[in-house]
DNA sequence: CGCTGGGTTGATGGAGCTCAAGGCCAGTGG
DNA sequence: CCACTGGCCTTGAGCTCCATCAACCCAGCG
């Protein structure tokens, strides 16, 4: 239940995709943001809500999902620090899916009207935020391709490559060792596979010496082979130059 | 190779989602738009392109797709008159998927700089366009859910419901009879099923007296049953009041 | 020290893929 | 007028990937 807080990450993320001016960055920094800690697995926003704020992930992972009849769940995306998972609520008032903390989460909440106001004064901030939602959509497109066309092994490899790139982009991956606090059940729900099958696919990737994965930590042992297997091409992440430091 | 042309549809579509003022509508109408006819199956924009304009569908259907190794294709979405399939290119300069005409197409091309200019003068137009891209993302989310969680029959039913609602929203569906110039192969590539299986699913829906479908024309015989089978809830389309005239 | 949440493994079956062939129809050209 | 062609739809048969069911293991924890 925090106070106006550190918007550094917001600036870093938003600014990096649009090369904003110092004045624009300052305006972002000044956005009032209330910081809250949220326990793992707790919902933040639910289907049908009409939130008046949006949520910046500061530390920990979040995820978005939809439930359908008979206890099935589709995870739409995972979110890492720097993401604003529900930015779309700025212009789609009724939320059509759930947002929850995956790990214990530190999140900053920013009121819509504050965003609208900054956005009105600085059109390039509007563009940067808009772009953010467009990248989210691009990730979804690639997810559709994965689930629709790739087999289990390739799909799993692709997913790990995607998470790796995204974590590297926010400097959370020292070398090719990544925090990956995602259970196999959650990976399964994200990839449209059964947990049992995900387990087998992970085992296969391990046996091929492509990865080491233990539920908290993913180490990529052979990036090239993993990317080839997953048919991974990072174009869809639309990373800017300053967002792709490492990784081939 | 047309001239400055009829932007009525643009206004109708964009304005309907944001209740724009007369002045704002007029600004949209004045956007220079060059009209072109495009033969069926021809690409309009390709992966890697950096278009300087975006494309408003005036008549006919378009679709977006990605190709992956070994001749597999995932269709991401179909587009009906009123849609602006590549609006995202406004802020994501490099195109990450292909856009093609499904049927013979009439499309209006509007230069990015013209859009940016109008958008700078009228923040609510920005909002309306942004919202457009967000609805596109919402449709993608629901597609992920379909492909990831629903079986073939339910997936097919859901897809037909979605297309029906979208066509009704642009007044292209007199009663529950819809133009549906989509081959079964294309439906298959959109739903992540094989063409053979789509054929069987369509047959099943026909035998259950839920639909009549002949490759040009879909008639929905029992909306309630079809929606129930497809687990269809139109919330994700984020239709405004003036976009949902008919259908229960 | 029992419990719980996650991971792991085996066995079985089914939804959906692939391969293959044939039918229907519209368009085309002789 | 009719043979021919190419799309598209349709149907059958066999097979495979992956879901499901059912254990069991292990570590952390109250």
Residue B182 per-residue DSSP state: -
Say whether the CB atom of A202 is under 7 angstroms from strand C.
yes
Q: What is the pLDDT of residues A130-142, one digit of tens each?
A: 999 999 999 999 9
Tell me the DSSP string of B37-79: EE-TT-EEE-TT---SEEEEEEES-EEEEEEETTTEEEEEEEE
Distance in Å, residue B183 CA to nucleotide D5 C1': 20
Alpha-carbon gap: A42 to the closest alpha carbon of chain B (Å): 21
Segment B244-248 shows an average pLDDT of 47
Tell me what the mean pLDDT of segment B98-123 comes to: 96
Record: contact B148-A68, CB cut-off 8 A:
no
Top pLDDT among A177 and B240 is at A177
Q: What percentage of chain B exceeds 90 in pLDDT?
A: 80
CB-CB neighbors (< 8 A) of A243 in chain B: none
Q: How far apart are CA A154 and CA A232, in angstroms?
A: 9
**pLDDT of A172-211, one tens digit each?**
888 889 999 999 999 999 999 999 999 999 999 999 999 9
* pLDDT score of B98: 98
If pLDDT is split at 50, 70 and 90, which confidence band does B4 have?
A: very low
Binary contact (A137, B140; C-beta < 8 A):
yes
Q: What is the mean pLDDT of residues A81-110?
A: 96
> Where is average pLDDT lowest: A17-21, B35-39, B243-247?
B243-247
* Residue B138 Cα distances to A92, A203, B9, angstroms: 10, 34, 22
Residue-range domains of chain A with CATH: 8-139 (2.60.120.10), 150-243 (1.10.10.10)
CB contact under 8 A, A130 and B127: no
Q: Residue B243: what pLDDT?
A: 61
Widest pairwise Cα distance in chain A: 55
Identify which of A97, A130, A148 has the shortest CB distance to residue B141: A97
C1' of D29 to CA of A181 (Å): 19
Q: Is residue A128 pLDDT above 50, yes or no?
A: yes
Is pLDDT above 80 for A170? yes
The gap between A215 CA and D30 C1' (Å) is 23
Among A234, A182, A169, A162, smallest CA distance to A65 is for A182
Strand C neighbours among B 184-213, CB < 7 A: 192-194, 196-197
Query: DSSP characters for A50-112?
Result: --SEEEEEEES-EEEEEEETTTEEEEEEEE-TT--TTGGGGT--S--SEEEESSSEEEEEEEH
Q: Does position A68 have pLDDT exceeding 90, yes or no?
A: yes
Type and span of the H or E element at B100: strand B98-101
Q: Helices A112-121 and A123-149: crossing angle, nearest 10°?
A: 120
pLDDT at position B83: 95
Q: Which nucleotide lies nearest residue B198, CA to C1'?
A: C16
State the average pLDDT over residues B108-131: 95
Largest CA distance in chain B: 55
CB contact under 8 Å between B127 and A96, yes or no, is no
For residue B182 the two structure tokens come to: 């989509």
A32 within 8 A of A114, measured Cβ to Cβ: yes
Does A171 have pLDDT greater than 50? yes
**Closest alpha carbon to C1' of D19, residue:** A194
Residues 22-81 of A with CB under 7 A from strand C: none
Flag whether pLDDT at B178 surpasses 90.
yes
Q: What's the length of chain B? A: 248
pLDDT digits (tens, 9 = 90+) for B69-93: 878 999 999 999 999 999 999 999 9
């Amino acid at each position: 239940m925090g106070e106006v807080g550190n918007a550094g990450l917001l600036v870093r993320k938003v600014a990096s995709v649009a090369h904003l001016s110092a004045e624009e960055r300052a305006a972002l920094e000044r956005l009032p943001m209330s910081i809250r800690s949220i326990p793992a697995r707790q919902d933040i926003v639910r289907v049908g809500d009409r939130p008046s704020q949006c949520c910046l992930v500061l530390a920990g992972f979040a995820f978005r999902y939809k439930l359908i009849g008979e206890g099935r769940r589709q995870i739409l995306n995972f979110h890492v620090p720097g993401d604003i998972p529900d930015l779309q609520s700025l212009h789609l008032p009724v939320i059509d899916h759930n947002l929850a903390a995956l790990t214990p989460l530190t999140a900053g909440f920013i009121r819509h009207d504050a965003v609208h106001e900054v956005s009105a004064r600085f059109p390039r901030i509007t563009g940067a935020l808009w772009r953010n939602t467009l990248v989210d959509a691009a990730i979804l497109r690639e997810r559709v391709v994965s689930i629709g066309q790739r087999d289990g092994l390739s799909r799993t490899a692709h997913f790990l490559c995607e998470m790796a790139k995204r974590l590297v982009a926010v400097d959370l991956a020292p070398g090719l060792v990544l925090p990956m606090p995602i259970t196999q059940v959650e990976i399964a729900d994200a990839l449209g596979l059964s947990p049992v099958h995900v387990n087998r696919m992970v085992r296969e990737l391990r046996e091929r010496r492509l990865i080491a994965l233990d539920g908290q930590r993913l180490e990529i042992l052979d990036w090239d082979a993993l990317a080839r297997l997953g048919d991974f091409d990072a174009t869809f992440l639309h990373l800017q130059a300053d967002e792709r430091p490492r990784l081939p």
